[in-house]
Amino acid sequence: MAEVVHLQGKILQVRSVDRGQTVGYGAGYIVEKPTQIATVAVGYADGFSRALSGRGNAIIKGRQGHVRVPIAGRVSMDLITLDVSALDANDCRPGTPVSLLGGGIDIDEQAALAGTIGYELLTQLGKRYRRIYTSSSVGDAA
């Protein structure tokens, strides 16, 4: 089947976080080694599942190709944080797009991490996302 959704967010900032420091509400994520944390402008108010807190993944296109990075800490109302230590600093700057569903992040895989199904992840997406509809030749008569 063809991918029909590609949900992206953008990096707002990247910060260095030292071992022992915490990230997110309730200090739910404790950093085990010096880490680069990117803050992304997507949260549960956008319909991004809180169940992906500390479980879900994102993909950032870097010099090494598409790099999968984990969600670090809790999904908050308007933000998520990602451990981007695996990427070169030049690949993670404010404005860098981050794939959250589609674009290499399988919807059903992400749903399983959230303890649900892909349909639920798609139907809970909110109105704050800019939607771009594209046409496709799939199913068109030849």
| Structural domain includes residue 13 | yes
Whether the CB-CB separation of 91 and 82 falls below 8 Å is answered with no
Q: Taking the CB of residue 94, how many other CB atoms lie within 10 A of it?
A: 12
Distance between CA 47 and CA 92 in Å, rounded?
Answer: 24
This prediction has a pTM of 0.88
Which residues share a beta bridge with 14? 38
| Structural domain includes residue 17 | yes
CATH label of the domain that carries residue 59 = 2.40.37.10
Distance between CA 48 and CA 26 in Å, rounded?
Answer: 19
Number of domains in the chain: 1
Tens of pLDDT, residue by residue, the chain (142 residues): 678 889 999 999 999 999 999 998 888 899 999 999 999 999 999 999 999 999 999 999 988 789 999 999 999 999 999 999 999 888 999 999 999 999 999 999 999 999 999 999 999 998 888 888 887 655 554 4
Average pLDDT along the chain: 90
Beta strands in 1-142 (DSSP E): 7-17, 22-23, 29-30, 35-40, 57-62, 65-70, 80-83, 97-101
| Structural domain includes residue 61 | yes
- Max Cα-Cα span within the chain: 60
* pLDDT at residue 139 in the model: 53
| Residue 29 lies in domain | 7-123
Residues 6+ apart with CB under 8 A from 130: none
